């Protein structure tokens, strides 16, 4: 008899085959992962966020945030290793592709600007392989084919570089190590399955942001708005652009007396992925309103600034009586405004709507008027004006999408205006509006300038000369002063 007594439970029988089964192990692993990320499988149907269904997801959200915190630490470690390896060398390698959090998905803390140091495009294509097409090098009897054992061995060793950085390959890369195909393939297999495992986790996160179109931080902010009663329900997505995602929402009750929340709202969420915003620098960098702020800011704050800019520009337009969305509230990179449209259906863009020739003419006259008002009364140039950013609603044209709008004195302001004029002029001329001015006439009509060049090249040259003159003027005076009337708003950011 056993001194510890008889075993009370019989252990569940488990065959050796099971213990050894990779298949089973993978399944179990997957099961566990799925349990850890259940929301990917069950994407919420129906309203995007309502007062009722959110509380169940907030625990999850917290969990996700913790996960992100962890990922961020992991990335920080990666960055440190990257730095250590690169030192002061002019040639550097990047671990960017192995990061868990891509810049901007991360809710990095206010003061964390580390990743700004990396200027690499995290989505760039893999570097091309160098195997010659023909499969051999050399001439005559010195020919070496790609199957040559030594060449192949070295190449295999070099290819280990492509493995994830956490995959220990030793210092074989540094010495003249020749890996046989067999060994290399085994290593590769292992490296890839490791990578796939981490990619699977990564993908889930990416998916979840793609399907819901917002990151947890944004979701939380939206949730707060609903929770506070400011919004009744966020019903769904109207548009996903390169730079923003727009949602529809039913308005709730205002917390402050003086503010009325429109029955239907549009929520513009400025995308917190840096990529698309990189090429927008020129709009904001040279805008004197933002000059002092730009250099000091980290990119996440710059994105908030886009939202802020749109808010200020919309407010100016509102004050001038130009039909445009009315600002409800700005929260970080989220701008809530009135919805142009009805019953969740957004008003059609001018490019999509079919108008009678009478309405089309009316639309043209209105657009001309609005451009003048925008310039003279708001001291703004839209800078992305086209049939895509004009909505037809209630028998008139509404202007939207003004985050990139600049003041005419912006170093490229007049060029932007000219581009706007070209878009508008071409659209209405194509639409058969006989009264439509050509782009040069329109430019003069809007700006009040009198550029006489009768061809586009000269015209553009004069525009640039004017901009240059104005720029010199600004430099000399150290402040805004120019051929432009400046009875528009005072600079907003001078306080």
- Judged by the rule CB under 6 A, the positions of this chain that interact with ligand ADP are 238-239, 241, 243-244, 246, 266, 268, 325, 337, 339-341, 346, 349, 389, 400-401
Q: Does 215 bind Mn ion (CB under 5 A)?
A: no
**Sign of the CA dihedral with 238 first, then 61, 218, and 227 last:** positive
Q: Are the beta carbons of 179 and 187 closer than 8 angstroms?
A: yes
In degrees and rounded to multiples of 5, residue 66 shows phi and psi of: -60, -40
Minimum CB–partner distance for residue 387 and Mn ion (Å): 11
Measured from the Cβ of residue 407, the count of other Cβ atoms closer than 10 Å reads: 21
From ligand ADP, Mn ion, none, which one binds at residue 244 (CB under 5 to 8 Å depending on kind)?
A: ligand ADP
Q: Are strands 144-145 and 136-137 parallel, antiparallel or unpaired?
A: antiparallel
> Smallest distance from the beta carbon of 328 to ligand ADP, in angstroms?
10
| Residue that the structure tokens 């909505």 belong to | 391
How many other C-beta atoms lie within 10 A of the C-beta of residue 272? 22
Instruction: 126-133: list long-range contacts, CB under 8 Å, 24+ apart.
Output: 131/155
152 versus 370: smaller Cβ distance to ligand ADP: 370
Q: Quick one: DSSP state of residue 381?
A: B
Where do the DSSP E strands lie in 38-181? 49-50, 136-137, 144-145
Candidate list 389, 404, 409, 470; residue touching Mn ion; CB under 5 A = 389
Nearer to Mn ion, 105 or 401 (CB): 401
Q: Would you say 49 or 340 has its CB closer to ligand ADP?
A: 340
Distance CA 162, CA 173 (A): 11
Token pair belonging to 346: 């957004």
Does 384 participate in catalysis according to the annotation?
Answer: yes
From Mn ion, ligand ADP, none, interface partner of 251 (C-beta below 5 to 8 A by class): none
Which range of residues in 93-101, 374-382, 386-394, 485-493 is near Mn ion by CB under 5 A? 386-394
Closer Cβ to ligand ADP, 249 or 371, answer by number: 249
Q: How far is the CB of 63 from ligand ADP (least distance, A)?
A: 31
Among 105, 264, 401, 420, the residue binding Mn ion under the rule CB under 5 A is 401
Which residues are registered as beta bridge partners of 144?
137
Q: Please state the closest distance from residue 427 (CB atom) to ligand ADP, in A.
A: 15
Q: Which is nearer to Mn ion, 401 or 467 (CB)?
A: 401
337 binds, among Mn ion, ligand ADP, none (CB under 5 to 8 A by kind): ligand ADP
CB of 370 to ligand ADP, least distance (A): 16
Residue nearest to ligand ADP (CB): 241
DSSP assignment of 413-472, as one string? Answer: HHHHHHHHHHHHHHHHHHTT-TTPPPHHHHHHHHH------SSHHHHHHHHHHHHHHHHH
User: What strand order describes the sheet that includes 231-240?
Assistant: 49-50, 231-240, 244-251, 264-270, 334-338, 327-331
Give the gyration radius of the chain's Cα atoms. 30
One of 71, 287, 384, 401 is an active-site residue; which one?
A: 384
**Distance in angstroms (rounded) separating the CA atoms of residues 118 and 114:** 8
**Which range of residues in 58-66, 150-158, 266-274, 398-406 is near Mn ion by CB under 5 A?**
398-406
Picked from ligand ADP, Mn ion, none, the partner binding residue 410 (CB below 5 to 8 A depending on kind) is none
Which of residues 101 and 324 has its CB atom nearest to ligand ADP in the complex? 324
SS3 346: strand
Please answer whether residues 306 and 268 qualify as being in contact, where contact means their C-beta atoms are separated by less than 8 angstroms: no
For the bound state, the minimum distance from the C-beta of residue 400 to Mn ion, rounded and expressed in Å, comes to 7
Stretch of 93-101, 314-322, 401-409, 421-429 contacting Mn ion, by CB under 5 A: 401-409
Q: Which is nearer to ligand ADP, 307 or 436 (CB)?
A: 307
* Total residues binding Mn ion (CB under 5 A): 2
Token pair, residue 466, equals: 């004017």
Q: How far is the CB of 401 from Mn ion (least distance, A)?
A: 4
**Contact residues for Mn ion (CB under 5 A)?**
389, 401
Catalytic residues: 384
């Amino acid at each position: 008899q056993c001194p510890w007594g008889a075993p009370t439970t019989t252990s569940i029988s488990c065959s050796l085959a099971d213990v050894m089964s990779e298949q089973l192990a993978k399944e179990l692993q997957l099961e566990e992962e799925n349990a850890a990320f259940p929301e990917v499988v069950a994407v919420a149907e129906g309203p995007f966020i309502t007062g009722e269904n959110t509380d169940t997801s907030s625990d999850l959200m917290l969990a996700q945030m913790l996960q992100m915190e962890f990922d961020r630490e992991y990335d920080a470690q990666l960055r440190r290793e990257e730095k250590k390896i690169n030192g002061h060398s002019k040639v550097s390698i990047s671990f960017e592709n192995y990061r868990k959090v891509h810049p901007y998905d991360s809710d990095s803390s206010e003061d964390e600007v580390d990743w700004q140091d990396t200027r690499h495009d995290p989505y760039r294509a893999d570097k091309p392989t160098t195997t010659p097409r023909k499969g051999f090098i050399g001439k005559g009897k010195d020919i070496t084919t790609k199957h040559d054992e030594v060449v192949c061995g070295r190449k295999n060793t070099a290819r280990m570089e492509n493995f994830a950085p956490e995959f220990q390959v030793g210092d074989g890369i540094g010495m003249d190590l020749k890996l046989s195909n067999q060994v290399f393939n085994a290593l590769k297999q292992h490296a890839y399955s490791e990578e796939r495992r981490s990619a699977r986790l990564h993908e889930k996160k990416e998916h979840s942001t793609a399907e819901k179109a917002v990151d947890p931080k944004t979701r939380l902010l939206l949730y707060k708005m609903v929770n506070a009663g400011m919004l009744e329900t966020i019903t769904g997505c109207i548009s996903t652009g390169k730079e923003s995602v727009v949602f529809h929402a039913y308005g709730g009750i205002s917390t402050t007396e003086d503010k009325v929340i429109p029955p239907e709202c549009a929520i513009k969420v400025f995308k917190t992925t840096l990529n698309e915003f990189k090429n927008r620098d020129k709009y904001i960098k040279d805008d004197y309103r933002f000059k002092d702020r730009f250099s000091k800011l980290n990119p996440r704050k710059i994105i908030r600034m886009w939202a802020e800019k749109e808010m200020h520009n919309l407010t100016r337009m509102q004050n001038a009586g130009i039909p445009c969305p009315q600002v409800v509230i700005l929260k970080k990179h989220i701008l809530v405004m009135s919805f142009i449209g009805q019953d969740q259906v957004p008003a059609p863009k001018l490019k999509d709507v079919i108008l009678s020739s009478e309405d089309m003419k009316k639309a043209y006259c209105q657009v001309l008027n609005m451009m003048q008002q925008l310039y003279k009364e708001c001291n703004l140039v839209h800078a992305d004006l086209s049939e895509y950013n004009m909505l037809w609603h209630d028998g008139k044209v509404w202007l939207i999408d003004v985050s990139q709008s600049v003041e005419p004195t912006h170093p490229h302001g007049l060029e932007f205006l000219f581009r706007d004029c070209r878009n508008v002029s071409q659209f209405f001329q194509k639409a058969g509006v006989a009264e439509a001015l050509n782009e040069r006439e329109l430019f003069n009509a809007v700006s009040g300038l009198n550029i006489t060049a009768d061809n586009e090249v000269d015209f553009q040259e004069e525009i640039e000369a004017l901009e240059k003159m104005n720029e010199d003027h600004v430099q000399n005076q150290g402040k805004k002063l120019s051929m432009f009337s400046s009875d528009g708003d005072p600079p907003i950011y001078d306080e």
